[in-house]
Every structure is written in structure tokens, then in C-alpha cells.
Amino acid sequence: MTRYACVTGADRGLGFEIVKQLLAHGYTVFAGRYHTEWTLLDDLSKTYPDRLVAVDLDVSKDASVAQAAAAIRTRTTSLEVLVNNSAITGDNVSTIADPLDFDEMLKVYNVNAVGALRVTNALYPLVAAGTKKLIMNISSEAGSIGSCHRKGWFAYCSSKAALNMMSAITHNNLKEIGGQVILIQPGWMKSWLSGHYRDEAPLTPDIPAAHLIGIIESPEKYKGNSPAYIDYEGNPLPF
């Protein structure tokens, strides 16, 4: 039986590594592509020509999400797992005493929180038709209100907190049909999340991705009344 998965923000970094892990475990993967100038997915498709499907996807735009969902529906009637990974950071320096760029905040919120909800809403019928009925949202410890310590990062932190709440509401629906939502803090990784490559982080994306495939393959361990909010090693985080 063919197992299908969808990963957003799959051009590079964590999203790309999750795609690689899913393919290695036998999934057919719809990989959301935003940065068309990156060729990692093209190169990977040479190894998995029948199981890797790159789909143009801008999670911040209704029309793009609808078009991507329509393309996916031509290939399958179900998804085992949807991984909402697309994200941007915005200003991570300014404090409440500084001038703040509210238009940028709305852009970050639109991608990180509403973008994940757009994709979930569009693909929910396919997830509901799957066996796992699993949605994995890549969140952050920055979205935890209970452990907030920063004096800046208004856009990123609040967008991840919003993602956590949207995930809780989605989980309330999904658990009624035997599914679940899992929120993941993937750790501080070397990435392009801020718009340019940050090399000072201690992790490379393949490390959390290897852990996440284990969670995807055995999600029942994290089932509960609320969505699991955990780091990539499975340790719980406070909402």
C-alpha cells in the first residue's frame, strides 16, 4: 500500500531533510517548493523519480495553496502525514522601546501561523482519509508563553504561539476521528530561516529530521486530549 505525505517549505533545511527521511521510509512525498532557484529537490527526484513530487507552494497565498492542494488531489485521496514546516523569522532584535515594523509582523504571522492553517484546511480531507491522520506542525520553544524569556522576536514568538493555538483547535477536531496534531521544537539548527545562512547553530537539520521520522512512524506514543508539544527528542514543552 502506498503511503503519502506532504511537507511544506521543502526546498532546503529541515523541510528537505524530512522529505529525505520520508522517502527513505517508503513514503511518496509531495514537497512544497517556494524557492524555485534551489535544485535540491530536482537532484533528489533522480533517486526517487516515482515517489517525489515537487509542488509549487506559497503558504502565504490562498490561491497558491488551493492550486497545490488540487494538484495533490489528482495523485491521491489520502495523506498519512502533513508536515507544516514553512516559516520565516522577521525582526529578532527590536524591543518594545524600539520602532517596530508591524507590516513585517503581519507577514511573519501570515506565513508561520495562518500559512500552516491554510494548508491544513485545504488538505484536511486527505489527512482525515488516511490511516495515521497525523499533522506535524514545526513550532518552536519561542512559542511557549509559559517559558518566555525574550525581550524581542515579537513577530516570530507570537506567530509560533498562534500556531500552537491553531494546532490545539485542529487537534480537537482530528482526535474525534482518531487522529492527532504534534507540535515540534526542532532545536537550533544551521538554516536560512532568517533570510541568510546561519552557521553558528549547533545542529544540522538532518539530526532532528532523523528523530522526527521516528515520531511520525509511531505517533500513538504522543496521543492525548491536547496536541503533544515536544522537542525533537520527544521531551514535553510548556504551552
| Angle, vertex CA 79, rays to CA 77 and CA 84, nearest 5 | 135
The pLDDT value given to residue 9: 96
Question: Is residue 110 within 8 Å of residue 116, measured between CB atoms?
Answer: no
State whether residue 108 is helix, strand or coil: helix
The pLDDT value given to residue 17: 97
| CA–CA distance, 88 with 8 (Å, rounded to integer) | 13
Q: Please indicate whether residue 146 or residue 142 has the higher confidence score (pLDDT).
A: 146
> Residue 21 carries which side chain, given as an amino acid letter?
Q
| CA–CA distance, 17 with 42 (Å, rounded to integer) | 14
The pLDDT value given to residue 142: 84
Assigned C-alpha cell, 191: 538554516
Q: What integer is the mean pLDDT of 114-126?
A: 98
| CA–CA distance, 148 with 235 (Å, rounded to integer) | 18
| CA–CA distance, 135 with 222 (Å, rounded to integer) | 12
pLDDT band at residue 106 using 50, 70 and 90 as cut-offs = very high
Domains identified in the chain and CATH numbers: 3-231 (3.40.50.720)
State whether residue 56 is helix, strand or coil: strand
Instruction: Look up cell 487522529; give the residue.
Output: 179
Q: How far, in Å, are 85, 92, 94, 185, 188 from residue 19 at the CA level? A: 11, 28, 34, 18, 19
**Which tens digit of pLDDT belongs to each residue from 173-222?**
999 999 999 999 997 666 656 556 666 656 788 899 999 999 999 999 99
**Which tens digit of pLDDT belongs to each residue from 52-103?**
999 999 999 999 999 999 999 999 999 999 999 999 999 989 999 999 999 9
DSSP notation for 154-172: HHHHHHHHHHHHHHHHHHH
The pLDDT value given to residue 187: 79
Among 56, 1, 21, 2, residue whose Cα is nearest residue 136: 21
Tell me the HSE value of 38 on the side-chain side, using a 13 A CA sphere: 18
| CA–CA distance, 82 with 85 (Å, rounded to integer) | 9
Point out which residues pair with 33 in neighbouring strands.
56
**Which tens digit of pLDDT belongs to each residue from 10-52?**
999 999 999 999 999 999 999 999 988 889 999 999 999 999 9
